[in-house]
């Protein structure tokens, strides 16, 4: 099976405190955000890079990308007489006259063409009000020297920020929810003319109308495959998973054309033809999506194909039996609703918030004996079993990650309710996985063969 996969370029993130445990990866925690570039945490994969400042309420990330250079196209043969000067450069080098060699070498070089350039600076925020205030100040151009320094308001050779904001005005419709990590929703100001590398060809399919996307990396470096998530929002480049070795790839279910024509399912045409021929009832694009999502969460499938799933896009086995397809798709729909936090099964939540205090996240500590997850000395969430505490999506330990990303923040009532929903969603996810796993032996008995051209 082949279907379209798209790429989002947006942001990398880090965690930071050294834990020296044999057989474990090192984790680094800093005790305060970086104040300037040299203190930031630099990450990269050989093509994309980021220096992360580690703010709590607001994150600031300087971005680089290997294809981004200043300058313009040039003729690589602009100096056809260069070869005539090679001998004299070599002679100067042999004589250890290095300054002369450097000067003569300029006769070999062509004209200066370009230099590596920064991609831009990205800001995301928990608080829509703070983000809105900051963008309004930026677009008004009435910013102070402190504002310029704090938010790196300056031009680069490839991104003339101050020129781009000249004719820009704040538009509230450019404020969007932004899925930063599994279940972690933040805010972003998304303006194609202002946002650096907005990946608009992908993101517009989430802006133009109702849609859902499959979130996956291409490569996984975790020991066990636990990747695959769903989003209906603008999504982060690291949402697909931790320790992936590749960026997040986003596959929208529907493609919205630029002109006013109906949206189209984002599936290979030949694949659709085969599915429609084999099944007596033509499945909707949503049902196909739900089936794919369910397969990705089947424990037996993950175990059997673990090594293959870690090195390439997943191969999805489609069953010949329509009734089995339909049943698995139903479970997949339940998983999608849970992960989008819109399932009716989230009410009532299984987790409860307990304890008196200021609601500030200080230190996250799990107590297995009591099934409690403390986030400060007196306050905790109870009803969290060990398997929920340890549950991972994309290499992220969900319960731990969500709280630690809010260290030193005061949890609001809405955030507390949201976290209780997350715990419930994980509990129900495990229940669904056990049910689907019982069906998987039947899947392997009759699989449709797709011939890839």
Domain locations along the chain: 6-69+117-255, 270-339, 345-431
The predicted model gives 250-266 an average pLDDT of: 85
User: Which residues fall within 8 angstroms of residue 400, CB to CB, at 6 or more apart?
Assistant: 364, 366, 389
The percentage of residues in the chain with a pLDDT greater than 90, rounded to a whole number, is 41
The radius of gyration of the chain from alpha carbons, rounded to an integer in Å, stands at 26
pLDDT tier, 18 (very low <50, low <70, confident <90, very high otherwise): very low
Q: What angle do CA 315, 320, 323 make, to 5 degrees?
A: 115
Q: Cβ(177)–Cβ(194) under 8 Å?
A: no
pLDDT at 221: 78
Please list, residue by residue across 287-302, b when 16 or more beta carbons sit within 10 angstroms of its beta carbon and e when fewer do. bbbbbbbbbbbbebbb
| Secondary-structure breakdown of the chain: helix, strand, coil percentages, each rounded to the nearest 5 | 35, 15, 50
Averaged pLDDT score across all residues of the chain: 82
Q: Tell how far CA 368 is from the center of its chain.
A: 31
pLDDT tier, 171 (very low <50, low <70, confident <90, very high otherwise): confident
Between residues 308 and 23, the one the model is more confident about: 308
pLDDT tier, 361 (very low <50, low <70, confident <90, very high otherwise): very high
Longest dimension (CA), the chain: 84
Q: Cβ(192)–Cβ(168) under 8 Å?
A: no
User: Which residues fall within 8 angstroms of residue 226, CB to CB, at 6 or more apart?
Assistant: 302, 392, 393, 394, 395
- Which of 28-32, 138-142, 282-286 has the largest mean confidence? 282-286
pLDDT tier, 27 (very low <50, low <70, confident <90, very high otherwise): low
The predicted model gives 217-232 an average pLDDT of: 88
The predicted model gives 38-49 an average pLDDT of: 70
The predicted model gives 70-86 an average pLDDT of: 68
pLDDT tier, 137 (very low <50, low <70, confident <90, very high otherwise): confident
Between residues 432 and 452, the one the model is more confident about: 432
d(CA 12, CA 79): 41
Q: What is the pLDDT of residues 425-445, one digit of tens each?
A: 999 999 999 999 999 999 998
Place of tokens 């689907």: 436
**Segment among 32-46, 250-264, 270-284 with least mean pLDDT:** 32-46
d(CA 348, CA 328): 25
Asked whether the predicted pLDDT for residue 92 surpasses 70, the reply is yes
pLDDT at 123: 59
Nearest to 48 by CA among 7, 17, 15, 6: 7
Asked whether the predicted pLDDT for residue 112 surpasses 70, the reply is no
Place of tokens 């109308």: 209
Quote the pTM value: 0.72
Between residues 11 and 135, the one the model is more confident about: 135
Asked whether the predicted pLDDT for residue 74 surpasses 60, the reply is no
Asked whether the predicted pLDDT for residue 55 surpasses 70, the reply is no
Q: What angle do CA 99, 103, 107 make, to 5 degrees?
A: 155
């Amino acid at each position: 099976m082949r279907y379209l996969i798209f790429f989002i370029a947006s942001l990398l993130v880090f965690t930071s405190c050294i834990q020296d445990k044999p057989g474990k990866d090192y984790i680094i925690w800093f005790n305060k955000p970086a104040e300037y570039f040299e203190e930031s945490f630099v990450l990269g994969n050989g093509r994309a890079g980021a220096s992360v400042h580690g703010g709590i309420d607001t994150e600031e990330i300087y971005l680089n990308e290997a294809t981004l250079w200043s300058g313009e196209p040039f003729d690589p043969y602009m100096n056809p007489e260069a070869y005539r000067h090679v001998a004299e450069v070599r002679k100067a080098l042999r004589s250890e006259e290095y300054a002369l060699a450097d000067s003569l070498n300029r006769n070999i070089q062509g004209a200066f063409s370009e230099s590596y350039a920064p991609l831009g600076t990205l800001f995301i925020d928990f608080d829509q009000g703070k983000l809105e205030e900051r963008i309004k100040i930026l677009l008004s151009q009435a910013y102070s020297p402190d504002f310029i320094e704090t938010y790196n308001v300056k031009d680069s050779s490839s991104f003339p920020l101050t020129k781009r904001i000249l004719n820009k005005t704040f538009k509230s419709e450019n404020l969007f929810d932004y899925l930063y990590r599994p279940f972690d929703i933040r805010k972003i100001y998304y303006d194609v003319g202002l946002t650096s590398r907005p990946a608009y060809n992908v993101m517009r399919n989430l802006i133009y109308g109702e849609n859902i996307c499959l979130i996956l990396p291409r490569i996984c470096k975790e020991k066990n495959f636990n990747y695959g998530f769903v989003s209906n929002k603008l999504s982060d480049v690291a949402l697909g998973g931790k320790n992936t070795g590749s960026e997040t790839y986003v596959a929208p279910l529907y493609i919205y054309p630029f002109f006013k024509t109906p949206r189209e399912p984002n599936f290979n045409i030949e694949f659709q033809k085969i599915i429609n021929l084999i099944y007596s009832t033509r499945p909707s694009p949503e049902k196909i999506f739900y089936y794919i999502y369910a397969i990705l969460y089947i424990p037996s499938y993950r175990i059997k194909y673990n090594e293959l799933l870690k090195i390439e896009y997943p191969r999805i086995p489609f069953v010949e039996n329509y009734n089995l397809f339909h049943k698995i798709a139903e479970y997949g729909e339940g998983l999608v609703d849970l992960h989008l936090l819109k399932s009716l099964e989230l009410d009532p939540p299984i987790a409860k918030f307990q304890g008196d205090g200021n609601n500030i996240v200080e230190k996250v500590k799990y107590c297995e004996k009591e099934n409690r997850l403390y986030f400060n000395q007196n306050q905790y969430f109870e009803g969290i079993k060990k398997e929920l505490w340890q549950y991972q999506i994309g290499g992220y330990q969900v319960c731990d990650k969500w709280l630690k990303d809010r260290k030193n923040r005061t949890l609001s009532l809405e955030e507390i309710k949201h976290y209780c929903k997350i715990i419930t969603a994980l509990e129900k996810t495990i229940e669904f996985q056990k049910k689907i796993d019982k069906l998987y032996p039947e899947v392997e008995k009759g699989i449709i063969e797709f011939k890839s051209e």
